[in-house]
Amino acid sequence: QVQLVESGGGLVQAGGSLRLSCAASGRTFSSYAMGWFRQAPGKEREFVARISSNRVTTYYADSVKGRFTISRDNAKNTVYLQMNSLKPEDAAVYYCAADPIGMRLSNGRADYWGQGTQVTVSS
């Protein structure tokens, strides 16, 4: 069992930055691929980024490439999402997720989900 708790959301002006954190419980964190997703009002949840269990491989949605960076610290059981050059269209509830298989995250599937953290971007 893995429990995920996101933090770091808030209100930021367009062009600004935020760093989201996702703290995981359990001693098996380092065996899971981790991902970030987001869901805006009236829209479906969408994949944002994922990182492999050993931190070697990362993937990003085209909409955030070059602006967002996913990273993880296995010693701290934490995954991060650094978001730069934020745009109003980035506003959403952001969720972290964990799955043993990274590809499942890219397909929107995960064994475990956090409760989400709100990101608001003012124009």
Confirm if 96 and 34 have CB atoms less than 8 A apart.
yes
* Angstrom distance (rounded) from CA 102 to CA 109: 9
Confirm if 111 and 2 have CB atoms less than 8 A apart.
yes
* Angstrom distance (rounded) from CA 46 to CA 38: 5
Length of the chain: 123
For residue range 23-72, what is the model confidence (pLDDT) as tens digits? 999 778 999 999 999 999 999 999 999 999 999 999 999 999 999 999 99
Residue 71 — left, alpha, or beta (φ > 0 → left; ψ -120 to 50 → alpha)? beta
For residue range 77-95, what is the model confidence (pLDDT) as tens digits? 999 999 999 999 999 999 9
